[in-house]
Amino acid sequence: NDLSNLYPAVQNTLLCLSKTYGCLELKTFGGLAQEAIQYCTDACIVASQEIAKSKGLLKSQLFLIKNLLALREQLSLFNVDFGSQETELDFSHMRDHLRRILSGETSLFALGASNAVFQLIGNARPRISKMHFDSKRELEKRLKTCCESYIMGVTKLSVEPMLSFITKVTATRVASTKKALKDHAFATPSKLIEIVTTVNQALEGELPKAIRGMKKYLDSPNTHLVLFKPIKSNIAEAHGQIAHLLESEYDSETIKMVPLMPPPKLMAILDSLS
């Protein structure tokens, strides 16, 4: 596979693993691979943080998705266990003894078993804890988290005013206020018109731009589908909730004034981006 468009850390990691696979015992290779994957994943995360500073969060997330996805796909070619057992010495149980000494609850000068030093020494043996670490599984967790963040980022880019409005409506209902929704400052008909107008502009401007960027950066149509399907669902859900609030909380005159997209038109726009 062509790795030339991937981050150098990913290229070098995969090249190293491909050169050593078959030359080392599987157990030895597995240990090497685990360290390499962990280093590579961390390097990609650091690079994405730098990209976020200069090019924005969405582009940094696309960078991370692209490289972690490629890394995961290439690792499937190696028939090896990427996990390892790690042993750690745990001294956490000693914190309470130290706290009591520092706060003066136990005496350093007491005679016998109640002496603070004797108690500390008596409990100074570390507990041995064993942990199973799987670098490939950690990579998949990072990838999943990044995909979820990207999905929410594009959702907010499209319908943030609606989401904010719905959150405020929920807060007023929790507060059990008797005041009609339309009488709240954030929910007047003019405010609602402004909110929906802003969202309509985003759906025809910012959203298509973001999706074009995703398709340009990520090669796989399957990846496009996996990312865009929940975005599409989130946008439709936000519109559905606004429509329900209009029907239940506002009069017919306000409903006519609010330029909420009818479902067929909304679906047509979203389907055209798939």
Is residue 186 predicted with pLDDT exceeding 80? Answer: yes
| CA torsion through residues 106, 112, 117, 120, sign | negative
Domain of 99 in residue numbering reads as 92-125
Specify whether 68 is located in the same domain as 151: no
Answer yes or no: is 265 within a domain. Answer: yes
Specify whether 267 is located in the same domain as 184: yes
- Summarised one tens digit per residue, pLDDT across range 233-257 is 999 999 999 999 999 999 999 999 9
Specify whether 171 is located in the same domain as 228: yes
The structural domain count of the chain equals 3
Tally of CB atoms within 10 A around 272: 9
Specify whether 103 is located in the same domain as 190: no
Is residue 109 predicted with pLDDT exceeding 70? Answer: no
**For position 29, what pLDDT does the model report?**
75
**For position 225, what pLDDT does the model report?**
94
The residue that leads in pLDDT, 125 or 224, is: 224
Is residue 95 predicted with pLDDT exceeding 80? Answer: no
Answer yes or no: is 2 within a domain. Answer: no
Is residue 132 predicted with pLDDT exceeding 60? Answer: no
**For position 112, what pLDDT does the model report?**
46
Average pLDDT, the chain: 84
**For position 107, what pLDDT does the model report?**
46
**For position 162, what pLDDT does the model report?**
97
Specify whether 96 is located in the same domain as 75: no
Is residue 129 predicted with pLDDT exceeding 70? Answer: no
pLDDT bracket for residue 86 (50, 70, 90): low
Specify whether 171 is located in the same domain as 190: yes
CATH number, position 242: 1.20.1280
